């Protein structure tokens, strides 16, 4: 292992290269880092060339060796975030820099903040690099598949510690503004190196940040400063479009506001956005129409596994009013012949996943129709991944998946190797395959031939399962009957086909 002094100097060198600090800051930062290591001495060392994540890894290993921290992942993460916090300005300075750069262009400002979030190790690019990503063809166009390996598993000792940890109500959740600069605990992630940008959107205070485990390019989160539950309404469309006016190179979307069809955090109002072209962006139109009330707005029903209406307008107020009209209409719509009930015993079921972006001179609002009703046959949700695909994806289908990017569980990496071995006959005993994959493995055995590339074969078959996941979540299926039902809803809005 390299010496402590050499590693500190290397981390300083990297941070100067990444423009976190300037050469004039070198001595000050070095002294702050030495303090964290309880060192009162410093000696110049021979220069080393370790890369960023390796430098941090070796520094945290020294902290463990010196007894400064315990040898737990959470403790090492907290310590490395505290190291990087020595290089980052206070939120007020970062906000001033951001808005000074915004005067040049919105993209210049977000480039600065995104690079800062990566260079400070808030976005852990070394872990994100472990994710598996590929595309598969489908009748809906190419679909993006990721197997998420960036969130490391807790070791058993850490799990035991967390059970004995005294829970607090601060911060209230993972999205609260109080996470900015928070030390972290065994049960709450480290956020010492976390910064946010303050935004005013429609008379409310919001914060812009990036996801620490970005699923796509510039994956950002826009969260309400107040800890309030998610609620989707026409106001949501106003906020999404206002954000896109401020940052026209970004999209912004919201999860639906109901359980099952909503996202993983419904307790805190927030949206997700970024700079990425999703498969749904490229979806073709099945039919086009104009709503009689909104002559300057064009609407398309998309060829997409989740029934989605694409609203286009040059005037943002027209877009919002039309989107609000469609939303209210869907909340009160029922098609019981196709299993769509607007409510059961007073409990509402209809919801919408909205996504807003800019295309040239047009504002675009994609409205994915959702319904969270359950039944005896489908207790997890009628319009939710059905049991035969849950071995690949069981979780809620949220905003990101709606747009055609699969976020599949990390367990699949090793589990799929067992399936491959079974198909290649290196393992003839199904007992080596996880029980929930066995029916699927036998189906694949019938399809696989030795002239096929086994890795690509498995990729495509996993992707096909995800397409089925999306189809299960669709309220109107892409069948003649489903498209007819989709058109009937459109016609209920009072339209003229074009």
Nearest by Cα to 285 from 457, 85, 483? 483
Instruction: Among 68, 93, 112, identify where a domain stops.
Output: 68
Mean pLDDT of 439-462: 96
- DSSP annotation string for 461-477: HHHHHHHHHHHHH-SS-
Question: pLDDT class for 288, splitting at 50, 70, 90?
Answer: very high
Residue 20 falls inside a structural domain: yes
Q: Is 127 helix (H, G, I), strand (E, B) or coil?
A: helix
pLDDT at 241 over 70: yes
CA torsion sign for 395, 399, 403, 407 is: negative
Cite the beta strand spans of 112-227 per DSSP E: 132-136, 143-147, 197-201, 204-210, 220-224
Share of the chain above pLDDT 70, in %: 96
Q: Count up the domains in the chain and report the number.
A: 2
pLDDT at 167 over 90: no
Q: What are the two backbone dihedrals, phi and then psi, of residue 427, each rounded to the nearest 5 degrees?
A: -130, 110
Mean pLDDT of 64-78: 96
Question: pLDDT class for 263, splitting at 50, 70, 90?
Answer: confident
Mean pLDDT of 332-358: 97
CB atoms within 10 A of CB 64: 15
Q: Ranked by mean pLDDT, which of 12-16, 165-169, 428-432 comes out on top?
A: 12-16
Instruction: Among 68, 88, 111, identify where a domain stops.
Output: 68
Residues in the chain: 498
Residue 285 falls inside a structural domain: no
Q: Is 190 left (phi over 0), alpha (psi -120 to 50) or beta?
A: beta
State the pLDDT at residue 425: 85
Residue 256's Cβ-side half-sphere holds a number of Cα atoms within 13 Å equal to 27
State the pLDDT at residue 169: 87
**CA 173 to CA 180: how far, in whole Å?**
12
Residue 227 falls inside a structural domain: no
Instruction: Among 17, 39, 68, identify where a domain stops.
Output: 68
Nearest by Cα to 373 from 400, 416, 406, 334? 334
CB atoms within 10 A of CB 228: 12
- pLDDT tens profile 118-165: 999 999 999 999 999 999 999 999 999 999 998 766 666 666 666 666
Residue 461 falls inside a structural domain: yes
Residue 201 falls inside a structural domain: no
Residue 265 falls inside a structural domain: no
CB atoms within 10 A of CB 239: 22
Residue 107 falls inside a structural domain: no
Nearest by Cα to 403 from 470, 333, 317, 326? 470
Range of the domain at 441: 407-473
Nearest by Cα to 383 from 295, 260, 465? 260
Mean pLDDT, all residues of the chain = 95
Question: pLDDT class for 297, splitting at 50, 70, 90?
Answer: very high
Nearest by Cα to 237 from 153, 183, 309, 181? 309
**CA 168 to CA 178: how far, in whole Å?**
13
State the pLDDT at residue 147: 97
Instruction: Give the orientation angle of helix 4-17 with respect to helix 52-65, to 10 degrees.
Output: 150
Residue 262 falls inside a structural domain: no
- pLDDT tens profile 186-199: 999 999 999 999 99
pLDDT at 29 over 70: yes
Q: Is 63 helix (H, G, I), strand (E, B) or coil?
A: helix
């Amino acid at each position: 292992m390299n010496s402590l002094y050499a590693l500190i100097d290397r981390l300083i060198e990297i941070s100067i290269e990444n423009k976190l600090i300037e050469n004039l800051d070198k001595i000050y930062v070095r002294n702050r880092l030495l303090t964290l290591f309880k060192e009162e001495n410093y000696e110049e060392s021979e220069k080393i060339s370790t890369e960023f994540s390796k430098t941090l890894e070796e520094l945290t290993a020294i902290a463990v060796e010196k007894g400064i921290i315990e040898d737990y992942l959470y403790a090492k993460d907290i310590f490395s975030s505290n190291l990087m916090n020595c290089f980052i300005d206070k939120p007020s300075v970062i906000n001033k820099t951001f808005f000074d750069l915004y005067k040049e262009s919105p993209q210049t400002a977000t480039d600065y903040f995104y690079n800062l979030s990566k260079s400070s190790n808030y976005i852990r690019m070394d872990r994100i690099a472990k994710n598996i990503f590929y595309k598969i063809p489908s009748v809906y166009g190419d679909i993006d598949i990721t197997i998420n390996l960036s969130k490391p598993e807790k070791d058993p000792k850490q799990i035991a510690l967390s059970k004995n940890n005294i829970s607090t109500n601060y911060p209230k959740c993972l999205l609260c503004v109080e996470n900015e600069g928070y030390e972290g605990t065994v049960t709450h992630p480290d956020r010492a190196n976390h910064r946010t940008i303050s935004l005013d959107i429609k008379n409310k205070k919001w914060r812009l940040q990036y996801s620490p485990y970005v699923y796509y390019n510039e994956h950002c989160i826009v969260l309400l400063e107040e800890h309030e539950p998610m609620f989707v309404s026409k106001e949501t469309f106003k906020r999404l479009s206002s954000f896109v006016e401020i940052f026209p190179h970004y999209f912004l979307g919201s999860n639906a506001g109901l359980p099952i069809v909503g996202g993983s955090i419904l307790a805190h109002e927030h949206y997700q956005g970024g700079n990425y072209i999703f498969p749904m962006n490229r979806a073709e139109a099945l039919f086009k129409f104009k709503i009689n009330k909104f002559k300057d707005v064009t609407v398309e029903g998309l060829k997409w596994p989740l029934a989605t209406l694409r609203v286009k307008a040059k005037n943002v107020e027209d877009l919002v009013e039309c989107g609000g009209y469609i939303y209210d209409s869907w909340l009160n719509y029922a098609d019981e012949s196709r299993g769509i009930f607007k409510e059961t015993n007073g409990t509402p079921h209809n919801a919408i996943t909205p996504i807003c972006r800019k295309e040239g001179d047009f504002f675009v609002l994609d409205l994915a129709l959702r319904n969270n009703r359950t039944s005896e046959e489908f207790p997890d949700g009628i319009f939710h991944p059905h049991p035969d695909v849950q071995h690949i994806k069981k979780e809620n289908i949220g905003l990101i998946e709606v747009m055609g990017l699969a976020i599949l569980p990390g367990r699949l990496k090793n589990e799929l190797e067992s399936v491959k071995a079974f198909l290649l006959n290196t393992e003839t005993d199904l007992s080596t395959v996880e029980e929930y994959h066995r029916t699927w493995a036998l189906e694949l055995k019938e399809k696989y031939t030795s002239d096929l590339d086994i890795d690509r074969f498995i990729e495509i078959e996993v992707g096909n399962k995800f397409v089925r996941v999306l189809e299960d979540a669709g309220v109107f299926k892409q069948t003649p009957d489903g498209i007819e039902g989709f058109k009937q809803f459109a016609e209920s809005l009072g339209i003229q086909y074009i």
